[in-house]
Structure 1
Amino acid sequence: MNILVINSGSSSIKYQLFKMPLQQAVCSGLVERIGIEGSFIKHSVFKNQEKTVIEIEAFISNHGEGLKQVLALLSEGEHAVISKPEDVVAVGHRVVHGGEHFAGATLINDEVKQQIRKLFSLAPLHNPVNYKCIEVAEQTFTSAKQVAVFDTAFHQTIPRQAFRYAIPEWYYKEHSIRVYGFHGTSHKYVSEQAIHSLGKADSKIISIHLGNGCSITAIKNGQSIDTSMGFGPLSGLVMGTRSGDIDPSVIFHLMEHAGYTLEQLSTLLNKQSGLLGVGGSSDMRDIRKLISEGNENAKLAIELYAYRIKKFIGSYAAVLNGIDAIIFTAGVGENDLEIRAAVCKELSYLGIELDEAKNKGYKQELTDISRADSKVKILVIPTNEEYEIASQCFNLLN
């Protein structure tokens, strides 16, 4: 069964084609800078344990045009992996916000599309684009089942004392204001890998997703019971350009005494803060370079970043009443050994003991980097959101 996974952002489309249930990625690619000068497609085909990369530079005006180009790469030329659109049995779509309506992979019909439209205001940068790609895929792969996999779905098991805010109930009932959580597909995937590695279903796990966006989730017996991102993806950890948790009084102060508008505040907290605001760059590699040059602000940015993660680990250890494992995943979590070391430093009280040699020896596969005497396993697990979406689609259709 061929399942195409589409993970669309505001100006990009990531995609992979899987043969299921073989769990085999046939090809993958990225359409980048959609609607912006310098658009390009990077398409990789995997055949006989060899990887062929095709790069195309051409202006791509919108997501619809991008998907048409992807179809051409899949079905035309010497590196074609399908002969016709009908060879794709299902298209799995990452949809960022599912509200309280969706707790798992869902076949897309008119009612589901209507619910996704209703949630545009809760995820204005993502849900409209996700919706557009669903419409284009329906027109492009006319015989395929269209399936939505929601970032928020994994967190629908969070209990009410964790998802409700301490404001009058009316705001929850009338405006749907509550904790939703994000990165759910990633947290679900890596936690299942960890549970399998631990060999125990009754597990207490803290999953730490560190990319440009960052979140941390407490997972008990395979279910999310608390998470750092809330109503939107701004709260919690320090991120590439987002502030993470901040006292709301700061917002009132800037509005009242500095004349900030809501738009200016949104830009400040979402696009000008985090590592960028404190350290001068949203890219951890640039931050490291600045530190090597003696930049104290960049050093402070790293300290803030690691400190906030440690605070949440302590908090979630209390919520879980213990920890069996912590997981580092996503771009920074998988590739920055110094962040992993900084986070795990001085957590021996919780039974978290890092092995420095194992930490340095991580090689892009599930790796235990904890000391032999560590009571808590420290795992680095590469996330694979696209495979998780394909797997959920396959399970739904079967």
Structure 2
Amino acid sequence: MTDVVLVVNTGSSSIKVATYALVDPEEPLWKGEIDGIGRTPTYESRSGKAPGPQQAVPSEFARGHRSLIHWLLERLRQEQPTLKVAAAGHRVVHGGRRFSAPALVTETVLEELHGLSALAPSHQPHNLAGIQAVADTWPEIPQVACFDTAFHRSQPRVAQLFALPRWLSDEGVLRYGFHGLSYEYIASVLPDYLGTRAEGRIVVAHLGHGASLCALRDRHSIATSMGFTALDGLVMGKRCGALDPGVVLHLLRDRGMSMQQVDALLSHESGLLGVSGISDDMRDLLESDDPHAREAIELFVYRALSQLGALVAQLGGLDGLVFTAGIGEHSPEIRRRLVAGLAWLGASLDPAANAAGASCISSPTSALPVHVIATDEEGVIARHTCRLTQAMTLS
């Protein structure tokens, strides 16, 4: 039997699990993923570099995240019977003010994290369902929560504040930022791509169904586009991004909508889906001739460029741009449009490299290096989990 650390990354529309050797958690031994939750969930696994066939998840398990996670963990046990799960690590979206580093899961910690669910209702309950599902399957193993907000605690206080009465800031109404595990990974590998420039002024564009930007200096977060919740910032698949708070007041006061209806509108009916009326998937919109699809894409790019410019101003210039996550890694057209919008910074694209998804997509004459780097949230979680559980054993 091989002792492994299990990583569970539970999102709103997908669940990813992976196993890593406990003593050297660099490359996954096995990966399994359920995608399309809320539609027709499909499952795919891979051992090493060989992917297995994609298959439908049995309908009796497609009732919710917890049952899907249980099904996925059972697949792990069936497909990898020689692996012994010794510890588990989880992506948890919101850590609030207290959790600025990974934490061992205890009953007290779990209770606190449930209390933060209202700040990330599309993610936090699913993250915590993953913790419970693992506890149901392996009740004796230690579990570690790794927080998407933790990476951004390095930001100066002014970057975390809203212009609200101080008592609200003191009670935790702050800009927390998200996608921190992704940004932490990108920061860790930047020297491999940018050399000494990696310590300079970098913007990372995590563009996926959820999307955000992060400004790095010395590979630490100094500002980001998301705020108190994961609704803020860029246009996303179903989320509205930055919004005049007066719109919310208008919907409640003048349109007679309930808080639940407004929440559903902003979290699940807006973004690319709401503007296009077609799809929340950028691939569908890029393939469509519908003018509403074109407008949704234009708005996505417009808002991304606007917020990218704001981060460049906070950095005082730009030494490199990195694309990551689903759209960032796989959409040459969105990368092309965004880099074209940065011509004022001297950025230019190598069309062939961009089309091929090369690691460096800027032209040889570009004043700004532009890279595509595949993120690895699961690897970050695995390493944090191994360190924390090993420290617990030594103590």
TM-score normalized by the length of structure 2: 0.89
1:208–1:333 CA contact under 8 A, matched in 2: yes
Deviation at 1:288, TM superposition (A): 1.6
Q: Secondary structure at the match of 2:163?
A: coil
1:99–1:152 CA contact under 8 A, matched in 2: yes
Q: Secondary structure at the match of 2:176?
A: coil
Q: Secondary structure at the match of 1:243?
A: coil
Q: Secondary structure at the match of 1:267?
A: helix
**Distance in 2 separating the partners of 1:306 and 1:332:** 12
Q: 1:96 is aligned with what amino acid?
A: V
**Distance in 1 separating the partners of 2:249 and 2:125:** 30
Deviation at 1:154, TM superposition (A): 0.8
Q: Secondary structure at the match of 2:199?
A: coil
Written as runs of structure 1 = structure 2, the 5 A alignment for 1:271-310 is 271-280=268-277, 281-290=279-288, 293=289, 295-310=290-305
Q: 2:189 is aligned with what amino acid?
A: Q
2:25–2:383 CA contact under 8 A, matched in 1: no
Q: Secondary structure at the match of 1:103?
A: coil
2:25–2:386 CA contact under 8 A, matched in 1: no
1:195–1:203 CA contact under 8 A, matched in 2: no
Q: 2:179 is aligned with what amino acid?
A: H
**Distance in 1 separating the partners of 2:285 and 2:36:** 24
**Distance in 1 separating the partners of 2:217 and 2:110:** 32
Task: Write out per-residue CA displacement over residues 198-232 of structure 1, whole angstroms, 9 at most, x where no aligned residue.
Answer: 12352221011111111011111111111111111
2:201–2:315 CA contact under 8 A, matched in 1: yes
Aligned with residue 314 of structure 2, among 304, 310, 319: 319
Aligned with residue 113 of structure 1, among 97, 110, 113: 110
The verdict on how the C-alpha distance between 1:136 and 1:181 changes in structure 2, with shifts beyond 3 A counting, is: same
**Distance in 1 separating the partners of 2:379 and 2:76:** 18
Q: Secondary structure at the match of 1:302?
A: helix
Q: 2:250 is aligned with what amino acid?
A: H
Q: Which piece of structure 1 moves more, 205-214 or 21-30?
A: 21-30
The verdict on how the C-alpha distance between 1:37 and 1:329 changes in structure 2, with shifts beyond 3 A counting, is: closer
Deviation at 1:46, TM superposition (A): 1.5
5+ long unaligned stretches in structure 2: 391-395
Q: Secondary structure at the match of 1:368?
A: coil
| Structure 1 match to 2:393 | none
Q: 1:393 is aligned with what amino acid?
A: T
The verdict on how the C-alpha distance between 1:246 and 1:147 changes in structure 2, with shifts beyond 3 A counting, is: same
Deviation at 1:308, TM superposition (A): 1.1
| Structure 2 match to 1:230 | 227
Deviation at 1:195, TM superposition (A): 3.1
1:27–1:43 CA contact under 8 A, matched in 2: no
**Distance in 2 separating the partners of 1:182 and 1:99:** 11
1:210–1:333 CA contact under 8 A, matched in 2: yes
1:191–1:205 CA contact under 8 A, matched in 2: no
Written as runs of structure 1 = structure 2, the 5 A alignment for 1:179-194 is 179-194=175-190
Aligned with residue 204 of structure 2, among 202, 207, 210: 207
Task: Write out per-residue CA displacement over residues 85-109 of structure 1, whole angstroms, 9 at most, x where no aligned residue.
Answer: xx21220111111001112222222
Aligned with residue 395 of structure 1, among 371, 374, 387: 387
Q: 1:44 is aligned with what amino acid?
A: S
5+ long unaligned stretches in structure 1: none
Written as runs of structure 1 = structure 2, the 5 A alignment for 1:45-64 is 45-47=46-48, 49-53=49-53, 55=55, 57-58=57-58, 59-60=60-61, 61=63, 63-64=65-66
Task: Write out per-residue CA displacement over residues 98-136 of structure 1, whole angstroms, 9 at most, x where no aligned residue.
Answer: 001112222222332232122122223322332232233
Task: Write out per-residue CA displacement over residues 261-297 of structure 1, whole angstroms, 9 at most, x where no aligned residue.
Answer: 322222222222221122222111221222xx3x222
Written as runs of structure 1 = structure 2, the 5 A alignment for 1:9-20 is 9-10=11-12, 12-20=14-22
Aligned residues: 383
Q: Which piece of structure 1 moves more, 160-169 or 61-70?
A: 61-70
The verdict on how the C-alpha distance between 1:331 and 1:254 changes in structure 2, with shifts beyond 3 A counting, is: same
Deviation at 1:185, TM superposition (A): 0.8
Task: Write out per-residue CA displacement over residues 357-391 of structure 1, whole angstroms, 9 at most, x where no aligned residue.
Answer: 2111215xxx0111112222111111121122112
| Coordinate RMSD, CA, aligned | 2.3
The verdict on how the C-alpha distance between 1:172 and 1:24 changes in structure 2, with shifts beyond 3 A counting, is: same
TM-score normalized by the length of structure 1: 0.88
Q: 1:9 is aligned with what amino acid?
A: G
**Distance in 1 separating the partners of 2:39 and 2:310:** 45
**Distance in 1 separating the partners of 2:315 and 2:12:** 36
Written as runs of structure 1 = structure 2, the 5 A alignment for 1:100-249 is 100-174=97-171, 176-200=172-196, 202-249=199-246
Q: Does 2:354 correspond to 1:351?
A: no
**Distance in 2 separating the partners of 1:254 and 1:57:** 38
**Distance in 1 separating the partners of 2:28 and 2:282:** 29
Deviation at 1:240, TM superposition (A): 1.2
**Distance in 1 separating the partners of 2:192 and 2:35:** 35
Q: Secondary structure at the match of 1:208?
A: strand
Deviation at 1:137, TM superposition (A): 1.5
